[in-house]
Amino acid sequence: MNGIVAGIAAVTFSWAVLRQVALPRHLAYAVAPLGMLAVLSASWVIGLFFGIPVAGIDVALLVAGLALIATTPVRLRQEFVSGGSPLLKVAFAVVCAIAASALIVHLRRFPDGGNDAFIIWNLRARWLFRAGADFRSAFSPQILFWTHPDYPLLLPALVARGFGFLGRESAAVPAAIAFVFTAASVGVVFAGAPATSRWLSGLAVVTTPALVMLGATEQADVPLAAFLTAAIAILIAREPGDLRAVALAGAFASMAAWTKNEGILHLLLIAAAITLDERRARAALAFVLGALPLLALLVFFKVSYATPNALLPRAFEPALSRALSPERWSALLPLLLRRIVLLQAWGLHLAGLLVWFAVFRRLTVTRPHLRALSWVPLATIAAHFCILLCQPHDLVFMFKVTIDRLLIQIWPSILLLLSWRVPAREAYLVGAST
Amino acid sequence: MIAMEWIRRRWAAALALVFIVGSVRIAFYYLIYEPFVDRRGSPVGVEFEPLRPLLVRVAQVEYLSDEPLDHDPLLPRQFDPGDMMYARAQYALAPTILVHSGGALHLVLANFASAPGLERAIASGHYDVLLRPAGNIALLSRK
């Protein structure tokens, strides 16, 4: 019963907020499940941290959502155009079926997820569910640091809440959540792309082996990618001067930050891009205000419960010398080149992206309101590479265990941003620039 | 340049190739190779499940193993087998903390790579065996 009320409350509240923004209706449908999952997770964590009955929070969310729906107009735009040829639609349906089957088969065979899933995310979920009021032990510095007790809680709390709904632990909960987030990553790209390239964009993301690989192993990078893509999609679809959309993008970016520490970097880069694209303080302020609730929760968690990150304080002391080391650069570049043609993880997708840059990029231009935003993925990659070069561990090991996850976080956003580039010969119509 | 021109003229075919390679890779690995070649994964940490009833309301136990752990986040990671053994045990026995360094505790989880290692630890005479669900795993109490 509690689960039903919580679900209704999360759906109502998420939808009440989404309908305030002048977005295409189909995009709102695509991002709504993400908002709902974030609300379910955050409300449970607030109840846990502050000792508030979660049922009370759910009722408050339900009342707030209903009040918003009753008192505010719907601002969503009805503008879905399917586009695409029948062949593309059939191809999309077939590859979606293949990817979904692959996810289900793997999740059934490995019910606890991949290494990071059970070492970090599902461990924490299990801990929070089993410990109840004694949840603080989940963040004890006495636990081996590789379980990362300082990592944000969106995913573990969501899984733990799922256990609560069932009344027991079940591997089906994290598996179902992984499936939903993977599907949402595809759905947001599909819904966020323009009608002319909607099916191609959907095909590009769902045929990416790394997306299925990381979704099937229940990595938090896929939820992060979904939230990040939702934020980017909202910013792409926003109407000029619409601060509500900017605030909503901030909310989704903060969900990414509440999922993984890397999400904080994404949030900061998007905030910088918004500031540059909008060129007014009110837009940056709207973004921050939208992000504030979950950022406040994240800060509270980091300050009050999380073990201080063991790596950060000392790791970057000799960082500059590491970053400038020719040995590290000479190790990194071949690894990067090899990854581009690593069929197991990326098929021909990364190679295809490079070809697109070489052949087609100069034939297309970015829309004016996306000038800075379109550089966010590249800035993210540059920042990650700086971190890789500066960190103290073996570069080859760290590259191999992190690169696919780092890339998948931004991959759907890259595809979405590419889909909105327009042919240069049409640029004068939209005031676009290279 | 010729390749670039070919791609520019036949971008649809190039794109189709990218999608087909990706789809075939996904389908082959997850729907053909893995189910038929790779054995099914067992639930992580199931070997520790018999110990859980004994650890209800136990906040901490000492972790004892013959496999070293990576304690220092600043040092290169080099003890992956030991780290994974610890992770599987901690996953199964949460919310009891497996204290891997520091002072000795009354209860000890012995998680060894092999049974002879555990035999030697027991033969040292420092512990009583409370439960030994597997040759290399036991819950011990310090004498």
Instruction: Supply the pLDDT for residue B1.
Output: 61
> Of A370, A432, A331, whose CA–CA distance to A237 is shortest?
A370
Kindly identify which residue of chain A lies nearest to residue B2, measuring between CA atoms. A359
B87–A146 CB contact, under 8 Å:
yes
For residue A394, pLDDT beyond 90: no
Q: How confident is the model at residue A398 (pLDDT cuts 50, 70, 90)?
A: confident
Q: Which H or E run includes B138? A: strand B137-142
Report how far residue A377's alpha carbon sits from residue A406's, in angstroms, rounded to the nearest whole number: 11
Count how many domains chain B has.
2
- DSSP 8-class letter at A24: B
Contacts of A418 in chain B (CB under 8 A): none
The residues, ordered by sequence, that sit 6+ positions from A239 with a Cβ below 8 Å of its Cβ are: A22, A245
Q: Which tens digit of pLDDT belongs to each residue from A56-74?
A: 999 999 999 999 999 999 9
Report how far residue B103's alpha carbon sits from residue A84's, in angstroms, rounded to the nearest whole number: 66
Q: Same domain, yes or no, for B83 and B15?
A: no
Contacts of A93 in chain B (CB under 8 A): none
Report how far residue A393's alpha carbon sits from residue A123's, in angstroms, rounded to the nearest whole number: 24
Instruction: Supply the pLDDT for residue B42.
Output: 78
Provide φ and ψ at A155, rounded to 5°: -70, -50
**Kind of pairing, strands B127-134 and B97-99?**
unpaired
A352–B43 CB contact, under 8 Å:
no
Q: Same domain, yes or no, for B64 and B114?
A: yes
Provide φ and ψ at A48, rounded to 5°: -70, -50
Count how many domains chain A has.
1
Of B7, B90, B95, which has the smallest distance from its Cβ to A130's Cβ?
B95
Q: Same domain, yes or no, for B64 and B117?
A: yes
Report how far residue B51's alpha carbon sits from residue B63's, in angstroms, rounded to the nearest whole number: 14
Full domain range(s) for residue A273? 2-77+87-430
A147 neighbors B87 (Cβ within 8 angstroms): yes
Q: Which tens digit of pLDDT belongs to each residue from B62-121?
A: 999 999 998 887 777 788 899 999 999 999 999 999 999 877 899 999 999 999 999 999
A226 neighbors A184 (Cβ within 8 angstroms): yes
Instruction: Supply the pLDDT for residue A337.
Output: 86
How large is the C-alpha radius of gyration of chain B? 24
Can you tell me the ipTM of this complex?
A: 0.91
Q: Same domain, yes or no, for B58 and B105?
A: yes
- DSSP 8-class letter at B29: I
> Which range (A2-16, A52-66, A230-244, A415-429) has the least confidence?
A415-429
Q: Same domain, yes or no, for B6 and B50?
A: no
Give the mean model confidence (pLDDT) for residues A192-202: 93
Helix residue ranges per DSSP H, chain B = 2-9, 11-26, 34-37, 80-93, 115-123
Q: Same domain, yes or no, for B20 and B71?
A: no
Q: Same domain, yes or no, for B18 and B70?
A: no
A119–B31 CB contact, under 8 Å:
no
Instruction: Supply the pLDDT for residue B8.
Output: 66
Local structure of A221: helix, strand or coil = helix
Kindly identify which residue of chain A lies nearest to residue B32, measuring between CA atoms. A102
Q: Same domain, yes or no, for B30 and B54?
A: no
Full domain range(s) for residue B94? 46-142
* Residue A370 belongs to a domain: yes
Taking each continuous run of H as one helix and of E as one strand, the counts in chain B are: 5, 5
A185 neighbors A226 (Cβ within 8 angstroms): yes
* Residue A82 belongs to a domain: no
pLDDT greater at residue A343 or residue A238: A238
> Which range (A214-223, A353-362, B126-135) has the least confidence?
A353-362
B83 touches chain A (CB under 8 A): yes
Instruction: Supply the pLDDT for residue A350.
Output: 94
CA–CA min distance B67, chain A (Å): 14
Q: DSSP of B49-99, one letter per residue?
A: GGGGGGGTT--EEEEE-SS-----TTSPP--HHHHHHHHHHHHHHTTSEEE
Helix residue ranges per DSSP H, A360-394 = 376-390
pLDDT greater at residue A349 or residue B37: A349
Q: Which H or E run includes A227? A: helix A221-237
Contacts of B59 in chain A (CB under 8 A): 134, 137
Instruction: Supply the pLDDT for residue B115.
Output: 94
Report how far residue A179's alpha carbon sits from residue A149's, in angstroms, rounded to the nearest whole number: 25
Q: Same domain, yes or no, for B14 and B81?
A: no
The residues, ordered by sequence, that sit 6+ positions from A241 with a Cβ below 8 Å of its Cβ are: none
B25–A311 CB contact, under 8 Å:
no
CA–CA min distance B30, chain A (Å): 5
Instruction: Supply the pLDDT for residue B72.
Output: 80
Report how far residue A187's alpha carbon sits from residue A132's, in angstroms, rounded to the nearest whole number: 35
> Which range (A51-55, A176-180, A427-431, B137-141) has the least confidence?
A427-431
For residue A370, pLDDT beyond 80: yes
